[in-house]
Amino acid sequence: MKYASHISELVGHTPLVRLGSITAGLSATILAKVEYMNPGGSVKDRIAERIIAEAEAAGKLLPGGTIVEPTSGNTGVGLAMVAQRKGYDCIFVCPDKVSQDKRDVLRAYGAEVVITPTAVAPGDPNSYYSVSDRLVREIPGAYKPDQYSNPAGPASHYASTGPEIWEDTDGRITHFVAGVGTGGTITGTGRFLRDVSKDRSEADGGEVRIVGIDPRGSVYSGGTGRPYLVEGVGEDFWPAAYDPRVPHEVIAVSDGDSFDITRRLAIEEALLVGGSSGMAVAGALELAERLESQDPAAAARAVIVVLLPDSGRGYLSKIFSDSWMRSYGFLPAQGESTVDSVLR
């Protein structure tokens, strides 16, 4: 009989799928790594197991302890899965821009959810960083994994995401594209892919180029932290989980382009994914277009892997709602055909 002893053992080994429609006119091969196929539904499942194991080994998390983490939802699900197996309580602190669906998911896993305002400075006592720090101080046996600074985050991607991509592309990947939130994904995966390819000949593609994608306004692409609507990516400070030496470049993508591509991925590729996936694919398409115009021969050989962090199910009332999209001006005013605007 073939079975796992717990759902959390099934994290990783997500598939690559070629994008075939949205890429029309581009000769590069663009492969999407579909992280919503992790058991908790996102890329963040990968970091949870390692973060908890290292905290236990270091004596920071003891039996019966409480995990307190500021999270936009996905890290919470990953941590809640591991906590369930190991008997820890979870309290998650979410900014109020996080959708009701995502909050409900965390509660469904048995976690407590605390909501904080988005539009305050990180140092404000009501910010989601400050509130989680206060909870850790006040609750006996509390442990804050802090995905923003925890080296186990990037390490888990170095150990799993990177090797999976290298193996599944038979070592032919030329570019790795991922959105940057805490920076753990791009830092760990990118570092592995650079290390493993650094001696590859130019004819075989040379060192893998690492391309970070950032919501326009966020610090990674030179912004000030100005608010944007894409969830899970972009920052208003520089987290320690992000090593700015790993990406060769960071491309900024607007909310409008991110949401447009997110909707097209569902309609044209049957990939129902979240806004940070649309953002990453928008960046990958920009990269492929640039390669095409600068060096068509290199573009034809390019194998671009773009990571899709989570599923679109958590965004049905936002990105996939015409009225929500219209309220922010991402779709034409009522009366015009929204279907046409999506299929243009």
Closer CB to ligand PMP, residue 8 or residue 311?
Answer: 311
Catalytic residue among 44, 102, 144, 318: 44
Q: Which two tokens stand for residue 75?
A: 């890290």
User: With binding defined as CB under 6 A, does residue 99 bind ligand PMP?
Assistant: no
Distance CA 200, CA 196 (A): 8
Q: Is 198 among the residues known to form the active site?
A: no
Among 49, 214, 269, 310, interactor with ligand PMP by CB under 6 A: 310
Among 79, 131, 135, 233, interactor with ligand PMP by CB under 6 A: 233
Closer CB to ligand PMP, residue 11 or residue 233?
Answer: 233
Distance CA 239, CA 241 (A): 5
Q: What is the DSSP letter of 292?
A: H
User: With binding defined as CB under 6 A, does residue 274 bind ligand PMP?
Assistant: yes
- 314-338 burial by CB neighbour count: b if 16+ within 10 A, else e? bbeebbbebebbeeeebbeeeeeeb
CA separation (Å) from 132 to 30, 69, 182?
A: 39, 6, 16
User: With binding defined as CB under 6 A, does residue 234 bind ligand PMP?
Assistant: no
User: With binding defined as CB under 6 A, does residue 72 bind ligand PMP?
Assistant: yes
Closer CB to ligand PMP, residue 299 or residue 319?
Answer: 319
Q: Tell me the closest approach of the beta carbon of residue 112 to ligand PMP, in angstroms.
A: 19
Helix, strand, or coil here: 166?
helix
Among 12, 276, 285, 331, interactor with ligand PMP by CB under 6 A: 276
- Kindly tell me the burial class for residue 1, based on how many C-beta atoms sit within 10 Å of its own C-beta (0-12, 13-18, 19 or more): exposed
Closer CB to ligand PMP, residue 23 or residue 185?
Answer: 185
Closer CB to ligand PMP, residue 45 or residue 302?
Answer: 45
Segment near ligand PMP (CB under 6 A); pick from 16-24, 114-122, 229-237, 285-293: 229-237
Instruction: Write out the binding residues for ligand PMP, residues 22-41 only, by CB under 6 A.
Output: none
Q: Tell me the closest approach of the beta carbon of residue 232 to ligand PMP, in angstroms.
A: 3
Q: Computed from CA positions of residues 282, 286, 287, 288, in that sequence, does the dihedral angle turn out positive or negative? A: positive
Contact 304, 28 (CB under 8 A): yes
Distance CA 208, CA 194 (A): 6
Compute φ and ψ for 116, nearest 5 degrees.
-125, 155
String of contacts with ligand PMP for each residue 151-180, x by CB under 6 A: ----------------------------xx
- Size, binding site for ligand PMP by CB under 6 A: 17
In DSSP notation, 54-98 reads HHHHTTSS-TT-EEEEE-SSHHHHHHHHHHHHHT-EEEEEEETTS
String of contacts with ligand PMP for each residue 186-225, x by CB under 6 A: ----------------------------------------
User: With binding defined as CB under 6 A, does residue 69 bind ligand PMP?
Assistant: no
Distance CA 163, CA 185 (A): 13
Which sequence positions are flagged as catalytic? 44
What residues line the site for ligand PMP (CB under 6 A)?
44, 72, 74, 179-185, 231-233, 274, 276, 309-310
